[in-house]
Homo-oligomer: A and B are copies of this chain.
Amino acid sequence: MPKLDLSQIPFQGGSGYPGKLAEAGAGRFVQRLGDAGGLTQYGVNMVRLEPGGLSSLRHYHMEQDEFAIVIGGTCTLIDDQGEHQMQPGDCATFPAGEANGHHLINTTDAPTTFLVVGTRTPTETGYYSDIDMMVKQDATGSAFTRKDGSPLTADQIGDTNE
């Protein structure tokens, strides 16, 4: 039925980032609402950030619109313009192709929850703002490389642009 039974949709941890970058996902737990309800055209996730948690490494999408609304607690949106405090009800939009790397971080001592929506597209390219990494996604999965397309190596992961 259309109304979701939220008690049956777990918050899941984990990260798809390669190597030590996966540590960035340590304080992040995702409840996949859209998937649970049979939606395929966009993803809808409730995300809980524990204190110190990050929504993602700071990034932007080339092909996918992204929307977020804070549901509970306080978090900080960081983008190319700086830091922006986000309270419950505050919203942010990240249009596809807009090269403004962003993420949400929880610098408080209580959990934050936000709802995030992202289009599902056949292919996608994402760029990470603070490290030399990009991701290409297609039906076969995700491939992380340096921004020139060369492979990440253990010593490269975590390199900054500086």
Question: Which of B39, B64, B67, B79 is within 8 Å of A44, CB to CB?
Answer: B67
Determine the chain B residues whose CB is within 8 A of the CB of A37 once the complex forms. 67, 91-93, 95
Instruction: For residue A118, give the distance in angstroms from its CB to the closest CB of chain B.
Output: 9
Determine the chain B residues whose CB is within 8 A of the CB of A69 once the complex forms. 115
Q: Are A41 and B96 in contact (CB under 8 A)?
A: yes
**Which residue on B lies nearest to A64, using beta carbons?**
B41
- Scan A30-65; emit 1 where CB is below 8 A from any B CB, else 0: 000110111111101000000000000000000011
Q: Is A86 an interface residue (CB 8 A)?
A: yes
Chain A residues with a Cβ closer than 8 Å to the other chain, count:
39
Q: Are B86 and A3 in contact (CB under 8 A)?
A: yes
Q: Are A117 and B2 in contact (CB under 8 A)?
A: no
Contacting residues of chain A (1-38) with chain B, CB-CB under 8 angstroms: 1-4, 6, 33-34, 36-38
Binding site for B on A (CB under 8 A): 1-4, 6, 33-34, 36-42, 44, 64-65, 67, 69, 71, 77, 79, 81, 84, 86, 89-96, 98, 100, 102, 115, 117, 119
